[in-house]
């Protein structure tokens, strides 16, 4: 059984036992999180799509880690004008282990 969930403005296809990295969630490591914004649930050839959410469906996950992705380098330059600007960004993430998908 799998589900399509929405968290952090993005959609993820998840199944029990998988690890996924999502946008940062305010939760401690080891804490259980319930994701109730389920867009679709599928099992084999059967698919149940919500409008917009599937009623009564939820996904339970455990927080494995909190961290930051690799740095994205930002470099701006104007040729012949002696203008250079350096910057960077590290996006925070939460790693989740999906424990169960329930309809």
Render pLDDT for 43-77 as a digit per residue (tens, 0 to 9).
989 999 999 999 999 999 999 999 999 999 999 99
Q: What pLDDT, on the 0 to 100 scale, is given for residue 58?
A: 95
Separation of alpha carbons 22 and 49, rounded Å: 22
Per-domain boundaries in the chain: 2-102
Class of residue 20 by CB neighbours under 10 A (exposed 0-12, middle 13-18, buried 19+) = middle
pTM for the whole thing? 0.84
**pLDDT tops 90 at residue 103:** no
Query: Of 27, 41, 42, nearest to 96 (Cα)?
Result: 27
Mean pLDDT of the chain: 96
């Amino acid at each position: 059984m799998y589900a399509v969930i929405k968290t952090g403005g993005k959609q993820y296809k998840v199944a029990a036992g998988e690890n996924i990295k999502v946008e940062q969630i305010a939760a401690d490591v080891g804490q259980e999180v319930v994701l109730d914004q389920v867009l679709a649930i599928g099992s084999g050839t059967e698919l149940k799509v919500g409008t917009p959410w599937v009623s009564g469906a939820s996904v339970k996950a455990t927080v494995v880690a909190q961290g930051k992705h690799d740095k994205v380098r930002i470099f701006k330059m104007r040729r012949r004008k002696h203008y250079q600007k350096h910057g960077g960004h590290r996006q925070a993430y939460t790693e989740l282990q999906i424990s169960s998908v329930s309809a």
